[in-house]
């Protein structure tokens, strides 16, 4: 008996009105976008940016996340299951999303958004503002994976979780939990790392004014998040059927390496790419406008 094991029997569904399931994963996904929107909105207000642009940004990122994560799962991890029935790719309810695919399409969507909407801003401006929100979303999504009993870790003899999708009905209520293997809660490991990364990115933005070095926040995000992902993959079960399970590295690690290099490039580049403080400039502009208003009022009197 493993006294350190935690029996994880949470039902993935919160409730099922009329047979339609409301899942924890979907709720947490929605919460992540809501909070992410609030975070970026606060940054926009702090820098005096037009909030109408933010609404358009939400649409771009939401579509990119869903489409990219789905296609990433299909092409990177499970192509053999979809190649003979391409229409099944659209059935997202069956599950199957990949963060590496989402990373690619989010980058592309932000480039398009910047070229079409933020024509007066450098390309990296929007990346640095969105990165903390994406890190927070990654935290919530991994917690959603935990509730879904998916992306589990390898069997361990130490502390871990015994996973059983539980809904109170047979045959689940007849399972002897002690017979199930104890596994690393890889989803929880990732969630904790992503929450720490989120905190660091917020500290860089608000306390270190890292936004004055374009690309630093985004580069830090890519470097740390995918480094964490790379090492946690060692305790995960293989998810890609096409990769040899005896190989030293798995698909998630192969895909993380270019993301880490991408991030490092922008971290080092940022120290040669300093720009004026947009917050200070906005506050100065407000002060000038207030002073101008006062002068006009005194002249009128």
pLDDT one-digit tens code per residue, 244-267: 667 889 999 999 999 999 999 999
pLDDT at 205: 98
CB neighbours (10 Å) of residue 241? 12
Asked, for residue 94, whether it belongs to a domain, the answer is: yes
pLDDT at 68: 94
pLDDT at 300: 60
Q: What is the pTM of this model?
A: 0.91
Asked, for residue 97, whether it belongs to a domain, the answer is: yes
Helix (H) and strand (E) counts in the chain = 9, 4
- Rounded to whole angstroms, the Cα distance separating 19 from 285 reads 56
Q: What angle do CA 86, 89, 92 make, to 5 degrees?
A: 160
Asked, for residue 135, whether it belongs to a domain, the answer is: yes
Asked, for residue 272, whether it belongs to a domain, the answer is: yes
CA dihedral 245, 135, 146, 93 (to 10 degrees): -90
pLDDT at 18: 74
Asked, for residue 282, whether it belongs to a domain, the answer is: yes
10-residue stretch averages of pLDDT, the chain, 301 residues long: 81 83 92 98 96 95 94 87 84 78 95 95 97 98 94 92 73 72 96 99 98 98 98 89 72 95 98 94 90 62 59
Q: Is the dihedral of CA 207, 138, 196, 103 positive or negative?
A: negative
Q: Into how many domains does the chain fold?
A: 1
Asked, for residue 168, whether it belongs to a domain, the answer is: no
Whether the Cβ atoms of residue 67 and residue 105 lie closer than 8 Å to each other = yes
Structural domain harbouring 282: 5-13+21-163+180-286
- Rounded to whole angstroms, the Cα distance separating 239 from 251 reads 8
pLDDT at 144: 95
Asked, for residue 298, whether it belongs to a domain, the answer is: no
Record the tokens describing residue 93, joined without a space: 């309810």
Asked, for residue 292, whether it belongs to a domain, the answer is: no
pLDDT at 73: 87
CA nearest neighbour of 217 among 207, 231, 228: 207
């Amino acid at each position: 008996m493993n006294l350190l094991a935690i029996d994880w029997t949470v039902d993935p569904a919160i409730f099922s009105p009329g047979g339609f399931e409301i899942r924890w994963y979907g709720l947490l996904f929605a919460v992540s976008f809501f909070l992410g929107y609030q975070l970026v909105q606060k940054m926009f207000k702090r820098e005096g940016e037009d909030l109408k642009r933010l609404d358009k940004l939400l649409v771009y990122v939401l579509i990119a996340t869903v489409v990219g994560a789905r296609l990433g799962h299909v092409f990177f991890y499970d192509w053999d299951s979809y190649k003979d029935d391409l229409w099944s790719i659209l059935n997202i309810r069956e599950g199957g999303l990949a963060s590496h695919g989402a990373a690619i399409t989010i980058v592309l969507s932000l480039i398009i958004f910047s070229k079409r909407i933020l024509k007066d801003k450098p390309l990296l401006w929007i990346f640095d503002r969105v990165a903390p929100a994406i890190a927070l979303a990654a935290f919530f999504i991994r917690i959603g994976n935990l509730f879904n009993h998916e992306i589990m870790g390898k069997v361990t003899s130490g502390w871990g979780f015994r996973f059983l999708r539980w809904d109170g009905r047979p045959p689940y209520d007849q399972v002897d939990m002690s017979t199930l293997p104890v596994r690393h809660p890889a989803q929880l490991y990732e969630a904790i790392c992503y929450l720490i990364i989120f905190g660091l990115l917020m500290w860089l933005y608000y306390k270190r004014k890292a936004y004055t070095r374009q690309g630093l926040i985004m580069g830090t995000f890519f470097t740390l998040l995918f480094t964490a992902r790379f090492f946690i993959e060692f305790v995960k079960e293989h998810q890609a059927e096409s990769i040899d399970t005896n190989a030293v590295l798995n698909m998630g690690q192969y895909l993380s390496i270019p993301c880490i290099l991408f991030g490092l490039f922008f971290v080092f580049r940022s120290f040669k790419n300093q720009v004026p403080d947009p917050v200070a400039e906005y506050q100065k502009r407000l002060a000038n406008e207030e002073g101008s208003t006062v002068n006009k009022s005194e002249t009128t009197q």
